[in-house]
Chain A
């Protein structure tokens, strides 16, 4: 029998105390974020929903829905890297960052070259301020060869912000090769060149960005600074004045001021994004019915979500549900009124519904949105030819299309219009031009042959005429 000695209990107590003190000493005063302190403000840590306000309830409800959505996805698709990635994104947005990181790491254990997971880890590190780790993760994403272009931009941006412009340049060039219309891409390129004191090249890059958006304040500011450095004081002043004008305009915009604090809109946006991600996941796996339901929910939750509406528009068009397609395209056009595509699609859908006047009006809107693009003119000309009405108008639009883009297709369209007007001479000229530009296109050759048959005698005697249908 073991006798309990009098010194054993104090000895154990001393052991525990010593271990505790050692641990306290080691971790004493280590900087850590930690939670807010105790005191009279504890109740503030409870969600504002306890106050019962509708805003707080709606936000809380949105968060819960998003989290349960992600959890359900992972439950149904266990050990699926993409599902884990989506789960991580939702958790990082609405839930626990640590769970998000765990999910992404699990995804990478399943698929080590899963670019989206590396990117997500990089973004998480960036938000934490650990740029070194973020750069490492972004590089891993890029090295998989499957990363989206945005990863290149994110990586380059971080390298620039870390004062490493030379390393950023190759990524930027690669990014702009994939997305040449990216304003931010050109801006960052200018930034990298500026950091290397390559001022004329920096200015060139920023000018390219400005061509894409003449009211981009960041680009204007950069141009003001670089022109000043180059001794181009007049230009510098011009850019700065424009910057100041736009800045003053934005400061007066109450909507811009308010959206910074629109908590509910942000929550809805996040919830809709979660539904869209799940919908895409399901669509790829063939469960279109469920995918559609999620897209619908996303559209319902977030009145500004375009991804869901685009998907629903495509789905409705594919299934010839034109009335529904019209709804979605009109919502998209309202959200993005300067987007040419929605005006064109709206016209196309109205055509399908037999609402020809409205379709014509939609195509006319397209020409007003983008007067330098041929698509609207082409659509109008085709519609008028189809209706066999106002052929003079059709000829006018076809001619405009050719002026914007003198392509074989547009010349061919012009030829058709001229033929309808019985102006065979002009039609032949236009058709000849089309064939010159695209000699291998059988349709264009057939058209030309047909027109030549009608004109064979006339063409032999006629004077050479302009190919522009005048």
Chain B
């Protein structure tokens, strides 16, 4: 800016003997007087300093700004492809997970915990329920005991802690959770699988829950829990309950393990396996333990994540339980609530090399549009997560190498996994939560990391996946030791978002800001009448443009978590859906035709479909 010589009059009005040069600064209004003319380098330095000062202030403001300010370009222009944004600071979620660790390295500390996303109050906004650990021997208790937390979704990624009001602040050592309307009153209930006595919370429909564990008969004893799931084993319209258990653990027999001289956690092989539990719903608010008579009790394992799904598409629900460093279980249902363990024979017990992996979480989806559910199991470090392709008759084949679905997972311990169509192109992509269970792993394994970035694998639609973790925005920038992950449309914009529970830290909430171009969608909520109210076990097929998209309603999935009660389908550029076919778990089939996209659809069994207006 040029200097404009201005005559400055002293207060007395007399002109000074030496001319003063007044220069307008960049800040506008800052006047600087020079008693003599400055050299040019000094002028340059001055201007540079001021420019840097202004630039530094600007950068600071932007860096501290919320994401929507940080990415105004993308918010308005909608970046093409998958784009995930970390919106955690804006959510108001203050939950912080604890595993109760004190340095004694109890094995239970490594496996907490899962989380659930579900609409607990029926306002069509998906809420979040976080599990928490609690104090263990050696922990120095102080202040409020840790508890689980329920956050109500107010839209726009704003959440409110309603735990105490709702009455679901369980004080147990939370490991797994599932959601299901076990009494068919239209309100989803909560089951928490703890280390110690479990808890069943009945949803009262008024924003509160009641602990009905003892009344229902599902307290379960002093076991180390794992995943859990509601399922209807006989298609009688009532949701039964499968409870996986981990190992037989007792504080008094806890072994000490070291690696390179450093204390580490013991592993499942240091303990005896434990049997899972199956409870039959009596239809009157109570359950009966049918573990032995159903055949489930014949097998003891080291259960972790699990999912109930119709693997062989014979109309009933089977159970796939991952076992940690042991062969996984696939309990095949005969339709009458009796199960036979056939994991080895169906190809899902081990990796393709016949190895029992340190299996953690599992999800399923029809990855290749052949109408059969494929499965994805996460695992320990120096092991790939495994993609099992369903060969069409319930038999599974490890296609990890051929598909690239293990990319980015080898060096990490992987936990929660979610098949979710992030870009609404019709193919299920993968989100994988990562983080080591040894909090001191860097001391003895330089390739390991306690905190690790999560992984996103894009489904290319040709049977292959591509690791795009470095290209999806700052949604993967929070680097923590992640455990459970839940995928649901939290802001009802048709793009599935993600919530990650991180061990010993705050969770991560990730908004899906993927491009809206050629990314139509439809979300379907089932309402059973003869079938169970949530439609658990029912199949939905969406037909468009010659393509079939099939999905099943599950309760309990991923790493000891629950999400996706509302089915989401990405539809590419299709404006309308030609047909939606629902195969209710009770056996009834229903067809809805010519449905517009970009909407939430509620389908009532035997009645009709109700399109909700856009949010």
Contacts and interface: CB of A to CB of B under 8 A. Distances in A.
B52 A14 contact: yes
Contacts, number: 172
Given A31-B479, A243-B344, A260 B269 contact: yes
Contacts of A195: 401-402
A8 interface: yes
Interface of A: 5, 7-8, 10-12, 14-15, 17-18, 21-22, 24-25, 28-37, 39, 41, 43-45, 47-49, 55-56, 59-60, 63, 92, 94, 96-97, 127-129, 131, 160-163, 191, 195, 217-218, 220-222, 225, 228, 240, 243-244, 247, 251, 257, 260-261, 263, 267
A230 to B, nearest CB: 13
Given A59-B261, A96-B446, A195-B401, A41 B103 contact: yes
Contact of A59 (B257, B258, B450): B258
Nearest to A33: B449
Given A11-B45, A22-B59, A29-B474, A217 B354 contact: yes
Nearest to B350: A221
A261 B354 contact: no
B476 A44 contact: no
A14 B50 CA distance: 8
Contacts of B345: 240
A267 B261 contact: yes
A14 B53 contact: yes
A56 B258 contact: yes
A-B CB proximity, top 7 nearest: A11-B49, A221-B354, A33-B449, A29-B477, A31-B453, A14-B53, A129-B411
Given A18-B52, A29-B478, A56 B261 contact: yes
A25 B63 contact: yes
* Chain B CB within 10 A, most for which of A60, A63, A263: A263
A7 to B, nearest CB: 6
B contact residues, range = 35 or more
A47 B63 contact: no
Contact of A15 (B32, B49, B327, B403): B49
B238 to A, nearest CB: 35
B350 A18 contact: no
A18 B56 contact: yes
A470 B49 CA distance: 108
30 contacts: A10-B49, A12-B49, A14-B50, A14-B53, A18-B52, A18-B59, A21-B63, A28-B63, A28-B477, A29-B474, A31-B453, A31-B469, A32-B479, A33-B448, A36-B450, A43-B103, A44-B263, A48-B258, A48-B263, A49-B261, A129-B412, A218-B355, A221-B350, A221-B353, A225-B397, A240-B344, A240-B345, A243-B354, A260-B269, A261-B270
A96 B105 CA distance: 26
A28 B453 CA distance: 14
B165 interface: no
A41 B452 contact: no
Contacts of A49: 261
Nearest to A55: B258
B49 A63 contact: no
A443 B384 CA distance: 60
Given A36-B442, A49-B261, A263-B261, A18 B103 contact: no
Contacts of B263: 44, 48
Interface string B386-406: 000000000101000111100
Contacts of A31: 452-453, 469, 476-477, 479
A414 B63 CA distance: 90
A449 to B, nearest CB: 60
B236 interface: no
Contacts of A5: 42, 46
B52 A15 contact: yes
Interface SS of chain A? helix
Contacts of A28: 63, 477
Contacts of B379: none
B460 interface: no
B610 interface: no
A43 B263 CA distance: 11
Contacts of A251: 326
Nearest to A220: B354
B206 interface: no
A8 B101 CA distance: 52
Given A25-B59, A163-B402, A263-B259, A127 B382 contact: yes
Nearest to A94: B260
Nearest to A58: B261
A37 B97 CA distance: 14
Contacts of B347: 225, 228
A318 B447 CA distance: 44
Given A21-B60, A261-B257, 12 more contacts: A8-B49, A12-B49, A14-B50, A28-B477, A44-B103, A44-B440, A59-B260, A63-B261, A128-B411, A163-B404, A195-B401, A263-B261
A217 to B, nearest CB: 6
Nearest to A248: B327
A263 B260 contact: yes
A55 B259 CA distance: 10
Nearest to A131: B410
Contacts of B55: 18
A22 to B, nearest CB: 7
A191 B267 CA distance: 30
B71 interface: no
Nearest to A17: B56
B53 A18 contact: yes
A45 B63 contact: no
A330 to B, nearest CB: 32
A217 B356 CA distance: 11
B169 interface: no
Contacts of A97: 446-447
A161 B405 CA distance: 11
Contact of A257 (B32, B269, B478): B269
Contact of A267 (B46, B49, B260, B450): B260
B22 to A, nearest CB: 15
Contact of A129 (B53, B447, B505): B447
Contacts of B356: 247
Interface string B463-475: 0000001000010
Nearest to A45: B440
B410 A48 contact: no
Interface string B251-269: 0000001111111001101
Contacts of B493: none
A239 B317 CA distance: 29
A243 B343 CA distance: 13
B395 A228 contact: yes
B408 A30 contact: no
B147 interface: no
A222 B443 CA distance: 37
Contacts of B403: 163
Contacts of A30: 477
Interface in B315-357: 326-327, 344-345, 347, 350, 352-356
B428 interface: no
A48 B60 CA distance: 43
Nearest to A28: B63
Contacts of A247: 327, 356
Contacts of A160: 401
Contacts of B326: 251
B447 A261 contact: no
A256 to B, nearest CB: 9
Interface string B43-86: 00110111011011001101100000000000000000000001
A467 to B, nearest CB: 49
A297 B48 CA distance: 67
B152 interface: no
Contacts of A14: 49-50, 52-53, 56
Contacts of A267: 260-261
Contacts of A7: 32, 46, 49-50
A47 B262 contact: yes
A339 B261 CA distance: 34
